[in-house]
Amino acid sequence: MTKGQKSLIVLCVAALVGIIFFFMAFTIVNAGHRGVKVLFGETSEQVVNEGWNWHNPFASVKEINVQTIKFERESQVYTKDIQSASITYVLNYCLEPSAVPQLYKNVGLGYEAKELVPSIEGALKDAIGQWNAQDLIANREKATAEIVAMLKDKMAGRGYYIILNFQMTDINYSDVFEQAIENKVIAEQDALKAKNKTVQIQEEASQKVISANAEAESMRIRAKALESNPKLVEYEAVQKWNGQLPTYMMGNAPTPFINLK
């Protein structure tokens, strides 16, 4: 092999190595993601933005999604009155783009299982544990607000997560407890119906007493008036007479109802 051929081979090898290093130093971060540079096991504090990026060819870039993420899960917790509740919830969150390097360095890519889920479970247990089972259903929105406040408080020191929305989509108790609640509601409705019926009966009785008292007072006034003026007796008879005289009359019997003299 001549000296010229050896030089050509070296040149080709150098060019190939250069091309390899060129592509190693070039990376594309997808839209809605941020990159973290890792060089020999050390995480860079600099955020790699989406798009084309150049970096040390010996460094690798780890992509992390910073778009809105929907996280849904079912959890078992206990209420204040020691009832087991199955809570299905949905959490919408995203990562703080500027905190991506710290998140990768301190937590890693499995941050949901390592940090997010335990924080949610803790907030659920603390908040639900303050409510009785039956009251929780009627105060779901208030309990949800308490969970969000506790969750934000737990994550405030980290600065990795942005909580966008949290909802308890379903609350389930044991079949026995739910039947007991249903029976209680039915009993309360029946008791209310009975109470309303009692009030109705009492009102009707009261109206009858008032009517009877009014009738008695009317009769007393009329009796007193008749007693002081006998002519009113004939007046009352005329008011009630239909204008017909009896067909048969006995001897000297007086004409009924009215004195014709």
What pLDDT does 230 receive?
61
Position 206 in a domain: no
Shared domain check, 162 and 124: yes
Position 248 in a domain: no
Distance separating alpha carbons of residues 37 and 54, to the nearest angstrom: 11
Write out the residue range of the structural domain in which residue 111 sits. 69-175
DSSP code, position 99 = G
Position 190, amino acid: D
DSSP code, position 98 = G
Bridge partners, 73 (sequence order): 89
pLDDT, average across residues 210-216: 73
The most confident of the ranges 51-65, 89-103, 165-179, 208-222 is 89-103
Position 162 in a domain: yes
pLDDT band at 261 (very low <50, low <70, confident <90, very high): very low
Which of 101, 97, 103, 143 has the alpha carbon at shortest distance from 123?
Answer: 143
pLDDT, average across residues 196-224: 72
Which of 70, 69, 25, 71 has the alpha carbon at shortest distance from 48?
Answer: 25
pLDDT band at 128 (very low <50, low <70, confident <90, very high): very high
- Better pLDDT: 145 or 245: 145
Shared domain check, 113 and 42: no
Q: How far is CA 185 from CA 172, 178, 179, 182, 198, in A?
A: 17, 11, 10, 5, 20
Position 96 in a domain: yes
pLDDT, average across residues 127-134: 89
In this predicted structure, the answer to whether residue 45 has a pLDDT above a threshold of 80 is yes
Q: How far is CA 163 from CA 81, 95, 100, in A?
A: 30, 9, 16
Of 154, 175, 196, which one is at a domain's C-terminal end? 175
Shared domain check, 169 and 74: yes
Of 35, 65, 95, which one is at a domain's C-terminal end? 65
- Better pLDDT: 36 or 208: 36
Give the chain's domain count: 3
Shared domain check, 171 and 100: yes
Shared domain check, 102 and 39: no
Shared domain check, 85 and 57: no
Distance separating alpha carbons of residues 104 and 53, to the nearest angstrom: 19
In this predicted structure, the answer to whether residue 213 has a pLDDT above a threshold of 60 is yes
Shared domain check, 89 and 170: yes
Of 79-88, 135-144, 173-182, the one with minimum mean pLDDT is 173-182
Tell me the per-residue pLDDT of 165-198, one tens digit each, with 9 for 90 and over: 999 998 888 776 666 665 665 566 666 676 777 7
